[in-house]
Amino acid sequence: MIDIQTELIDKFQFDIVLRYPFHPSMQKDKYKVRLYYFLPRNLLVDRYNYREDDFLKDVQNLLHFSVPLKTKDELISSAAFSIRHIEDIIHQSVENREDQGLLQDFEFTVKLFVISFKEWAVEHLRKAQVGEALDYSLFITETEEIWSEFRKLKDTLYRFNFVKHRLNVFHYANEYICIFMLSFTYQMLRVKEEQVLKDFIRSTNSYQHANKYESMIEAEGENEIQVYRMNTFRKYFLNGLFLRPKVDSKEINRAREFSFAIGAAVAMIFATGIAFYFQQTYGQISFMFFSALVGGYILKDRIKEWVRNYAAQKMMGKMYDVKYELFSDNKVKVGHRTQRLSFIQEEAIPEEILACRQKYKMLEVETEGVGQNIMLFEKHTNLYTDKIEEVFSEVGINELTDILRFNLTGFTKNMEDNDRELYYLYENNIKKVKADRVYHINVVLQFESHNEVFLKRYRLVLNKKGIKRVEEILLD
């Protein structure tokens, strides 16, 4: 089942997180997401001053696979991306030390083991936070067992004299395990104070100190290096599951180019027809012929733009601005994505989208008093599930997390100052209070796959200082 959540990142950024369970049994799987932004016209965000390039600066598209939850035994045993799997790759590399494929497999497998270990710990934290029964002593015992087996890889690497890149990857992984296990243990302590958790924290801190890991938190100091290393490690290991987009420079959108060519042809026919008519009627050297050439040239560009916009509305599903090829961490092409930004008229919006937008009593006042511009962002994602199966064989990966991160800084520059003063009468005295001047941006999300279509609506409440909150408007 599709899961969509929103998350406020900071004062100007919010995420729409979509988790899509794709179908490995299909050779190819695809889904479409359309986001309709209903923008107050006084924000001055329209087709003339907010274009595709501006949007690309304000939006981040992140795609990554989700690993299935593993047990303690699966993390250690000879299953895919387990500790024993890493050992097997080390032994294979002994006779092929310069084999770049084995080196890449080692790094890729360590990344996925670390992510799986982290997800295993997250699941225990989630149980604690929602009040499920959790044996904290067993959790620490199993954690130490998994981690101890992983640490033995260091001795194996030294025994076979792997002291360069592979050893660095091991240390990165080991330090990151310190970071996230300490973080989860502290969060568990906030749920329930258990001595076994405190003992684990002390022993892990001692281990960090003995290995001189710079991510160890200091009681005095800004700890900026610690935060930097945490974020850097998190991105490095998640890269094992992230899909890397690459612009397909060779791809030509034939539908888009054809519509643009039709627009240019219609405009040229009009301008040439006007010139021929006035030339035949008034002659080549006349003021009327000169005026006709100037007028035809002026109207030619406008006609070309009108035809382009008309074609864009009629061919909305086939036209796009950019195409990305999607690659896994080990550089295998596993899909592609197209996306497009456009501003459309209300008449071009499907009825079901308008119905979602209109479920609000203030709509008539908003649209009549201020007016609205409608921005549409579309992205079509195609997954080559047979290729994904080859890359992640025997892992059971069948879910994709699609994150759209949108920065609204550019939308706030034309907002009025947020502070207002209001007055009211209290016990025969006039009181003054401060009030925020806020703007509402309504967003309707339409999701479509081969077997499912649904809609969601959100309201972004923001002012000059940024986003105050993101509200989901429940639909029938």
Summarize pLDDT for 391-447 with one digit per residue, the tens.
Answer: 776 667 788 889 999 898 888 888 887 677 888 888 888 888 888 888 888 999 999
Summarize pLDDT for 135-176 with one digit per residue, the tens.
Answer: 999 999 999 999 999 999 999 998 888 878 889 999 999 999
Mean pLDDT of the region 81-88: 90
pLDDT of residue 175: 94
Task: Name the pLDDT band for 252 (thresholds 50, 70, 90).
Answer: very low
Q: What burial letters (b/e) apply to 281-290, b meaning 16+ CB within 10 Å?
A: eeeeeeeebe
pLDDT of residue 299: 64
Q: Which of 145, 211, 126, 149 has the alpha carbon at shortest distance from 176?
A: 211
Q: Which of 274, 278, 281 has the alpha carbon at shortest distance from 297?
A: 274
pLDDT of residue 28: 86
pLDDT of residue 271: 66
Q: Which of 338, 354, 373 has the alpha carbon at shortest distance from 44?
A: 373
Mean pLDDT of the region 332-356: 85
Task: Please provide the average confidence, as pLDDT, over all residues in the chain.
Answer: 82
pLDDT of residue 76: 93
Task: Name the pLDDT band for 277 (thresholds 50, 70, 90).
Answer: low
Residues 363, 355 contacting (CB under 8 angstroms): no
Task: Name the pLDDT band for 205 (thresholds 50, 70, 90).
Answer: very high
Residue 96: strand, helix, or coil: coil
pLDDT of residue 75: 92
| Strand 399-407 versus strand 13-21 pairing type | antiparallel
417 or 103, which is more confident: 103
pLDDT of residue 117: 94
Residues 178, 208 contacting (CB under 8 angstroms): yes
280 or 88, which is more confident: 88
Instruction: Work out the percent of the chain whose per-residue pLDDT is above 90.
Output: 24
pLDDT of residue 364: 53
The answer, yes or no, to whether residue 369 has pLDDT greater than 60, is: no
Residue 416: strand, helix, or coil: coil
pLDDT of residue 179: 93
Write down the pTM of the prediction.
0.74
